[in-house]
Amino acid sequence: MSVTAEPDPASLIEAYFERGWTDGLPVVPPTEKSVAEMLAGAGLRRDEILGEIPGRNTVVVAEKVAINAVLAGCRPEYMPVVAAAVRGLCHPDFAYHGPASSTGGSAMVLIVNGPVARRLGLNSGNNAFGQGWRPNATIGRAVRLVMMNAMQTRPGLLDRAALGNPGKYSFCFAENEDDHPWEPLHVARGLSPGLSAVTVYASNSLYQVYNQLAAEPEPLLRCFADALSNLGLPNVKGFNQALLVVAGEHTEVLRQSGWSRRQVQTFLVEHTRRRVADLKRAARLPGDVAPADETTWRHLFEKLDDILIVCAGGRAGSWSACLPGWGNKWTKAVTIPIGEIP
């Protein structure tokens, strides 16, 4: 009986690319053993259903998620985070079809909290959004590959992004819970401090906010409010979400001020606004400018909880970041507990 040689990994990588199974970067060819180890890492059965997208008649089973986690380069211990993030994508409140298929080209931002972030070594500090950390890179990448291969969200088909977003390759980071003015995000969203969780959030863009002189919250937060109310935002109707990532010296400004998370959110709800006249001149609202429009304000947020605030990034530097949401009242960030495997 002849023995068939193992396929050449380089040939498999090229074959996967030709079939549209990759994000354009090389992948790790899966094997029965590596997929089984990935499932065991999260205590999942092959046929276990992690979620459904009813509008697409899509059922996501654990084996497909495990295969994509292998392709992305995950280690088996990352699989509980990947599985929880996929459950988040399928949650009704996230309303997957909108941010996944929109011309806006949203990145799926994954914010990891709790003991699992420290155990896996997820980066929450310097270069938190950037390269260099395997769990950050591969967990976020696995989720995007699941979207492509298990949910059929491929560019030009169900992914209709006009420009896309570099974060669509991977966007995963941990919150810095050790150097924080308040309780971490998952606790603010109703979970206990001892739990691990991932928050799934759809963001169209990311831009950094710089202020090196502010020593009090008000001038610093005015910079955030201005950044969050630019005329080119996709949603100016008052029901979007936004994510603020506070880093470096800005974290210390808020800590020393004694302001609570609620005070910060209240200030931003009040100050993130544009005059109706500005919006009409920029053709973001219809109609001619009336005299009353010069003194009539439109606020971009309705609810305090629509402003998500996390702490991450390097401790030095006068930088933070705004990540405006996809911009639709039907899509909301969701926070999913992560099942821990002993």
Q: pLDDT per residue over 271-282, tens digit each?
A: 999 999 999 999
Contact status, residue 248 vs residue 316, Cβ threshold 8 Å: yes
Tell me the DSSP string of 219-265.
HHHHHHHHHTT-TT-S--SS---EEEEE-HHHHHHHHHHT--HHHHH
The answer to whether residue 295 is domain-embedded is yes
Same domain, 45 and 192: yes
Residue 78 pLDDT greater than 90, yes or no: yes
Mean pLDDT of the chain: 93
The range of the structural domain enclosing residue 171 comes to 8-204+329-342
Q: Residue 8: pLDDT band by 50, 70, 90 thresholds?
A: confident
Residue 237 pLDDT greater than 80, yes or no: no
The answer to whether residue 148 is domain-embedded is yes
Residue 181 pLDDT greater than 90, yes or no: yes
The answer to whether residue 130 is domain-embedded is yes
- The candidate with the shortest Cα–Cα distance to 142, out of 67, 39, 88, 63, is 67
Same domain, 217 and 73: no
Q: Residue 235: pLDDT band by 50, 70, 90 thresholds?
A: confident
Contact status, residue 327 vs residue 235, Cβ threshold 8 Å: yes
What local confidence, expressed as pLDDT, does residue 39 receive?
98
Overall average pLDDT of the 244-250 stretch: 96
The answer to whether residue 3 is domain-embedded is no
More confident residue, 234 or 184: 184
Overall average pLDDT of the 66-75 stretch: 98
What is the CA angle 54-57-63, rounded to 5?
100
Residue 336 pLDDT greater than 60, yes or no: yes
Sign of CA dihedral 76, 80, 82, 83: positive
Same domain, 49 and 153: yes
What local confidence, expressed as pLDDT, does residue 341 receive?
52
pTM recorded for the entire structure: 0.95
Token duo for residue 317: 């530097």
What local confidence, expressed as pLDDT, does residue 1 receive?
36
Amino acid letter, residue 66: A
Overall average pLDDT of the 212-239 stretch: 90
Structural domain count of the chain: 2
What local confidence, expressed as pLDDT, does residue 57 receive?
85
Amino acid letter, residue 39: L
Q: Residue 2: pLDDT band by 50, 70, 90 thresholds?
A: very low
In whole angstroms, what is the distance from residue 13 CA to residue 34 CA? 16
Same domain, 179 and 212: no
The answer to whether residue 336 is domain-embedded is yes
In whole angstroms, what is the distance from residue 271 CA to residue 307 CA? 13
Same domain, 284 and 307: yes
Give the contacts of 142 (CB within 8 A, at least 6 positions apart). 65, 68, 69, 71, 72, 74, 78, 82
Sign of CA dihedral 238, 298, 230, 211: negative
Overall average pLDDT of the 27-50 stretch: 97
Residue 4 pLDDT greater than 50, yes or no: no
The answer to whether residue 2 is domain-embedded is no
Same domain, 218 and 161: no
The answer to whether residue 168 is domain-embedded is yes
Residue 268 pLDDT greater than 60, yes or no: yes
Overall average pLDDT of the 118-129 stretch: 97
What local confidence, expressed as pLDDT, does residue 196 receive?
97
Same domain, 298 and 341: no
Same domain, 23 and 162: yes
**CA-based max dimension of the chain:** 89
Same domain, 214 and 113: no
b or e along 109-124 (b: 16 or more beta carbons within 10 Å of the residue's beta carbon)?
bbbbbbebbeebebbb
Overall average pLDDT of the 209-227 stretch: 96
Same domain, 242 and 269: yes
- Other C-beta atoms lying within 10 Å of the C-beta of residue 91: 17
More confident residue, 317 or 234: 317
The answer to whether residue 315 is domain-embedded is yes
Contact status, residue 58 vs residue 150, Cβ threshold 8 Å: yes
What local confidence, expressed as pLDDT, does residue 339 receive?
83
Q: 111 has which bridge partners?
A: 173, 199
What local confidence, expressed as pLDDT, does residue 239 receive?
65
Residue 342 pLDDT greater than 50, yes or no: no
Q: Residue 101: pLDDT band by 50, 70, 90 thresholds?
A: very high
Same domain, 31 and 135: yes
Overall average pLDDT of the 211-225 stretch: 97
Overall average pLDDT of the 44-69 stretch: 94
Same domain, 161 and 116: yes
